[in-house]
Amino acid sequence: MREILFRGKATENYGKYKIGDWVYGNFMEGMNKNDCCINPKGTCNHIQVDTETVGEYTGLTDLNEKEIFEGDILKKPDNELIKVVWCEENACFSGSWWDRADNFYEWLVVGNEWDNPEMLKEMIYKTHAVRLLCDKCTIKSLK
C-alpha cells in the first residue's frame, strides 16, 4: 500500500514555515475550497496552503529516490520533460508524455509547475501530441 501524502505551498508564516515554503503532510480541506491546510507529519500544526499548489504523492520515486508528486516535472534519459498529472476519469496518476514502455525509475524530478514554470512552457512548445500511461485518459492541456 502506498503512503498517502500531500504537499502545498504555505500561505502563512508559522513556526519554521515561511510563505512560499513547501509543506508536506496530511491534506485538510476547510469550509470552502480556498481554505485548506496541510498537517505536517508528526505535528499538531495546521499550515494554510495555496489550494492551486496542492499535489498528492504518487507512491513512486525517481532515480535518486526522490518522491514524485502530482505537478512535478520529470526528465527522461533522453532529456524529454514530463509533467505528472492526475487522471480523474480513471483515478490514476499519469504523465503528459509517457507510455507503458517507459521505465520511470530512470527519470529524475527536475522541478515542478509552480517553482519552474519556464520548464512547463518548454514542454508545451515541444509537445504536439499527448500519449499517456492510461490509454483511456485525455488531457486537454498541460496545465
pTM of this structure? 0.79
pLDDT digits (tens, 9 = 90+) for 48-107: 999 999 999 988 888 899 999 999 998 888 888 888 888 777 666 766 545 544 566 688
77: alpha, beta or left, given left = phi > 0 and alpha = psi -120 to 50?
Answer: alpha
44's grid cell: 499538531
Judged against a pLDDT cut of 70, whether residue 139 lies above it is answered with no
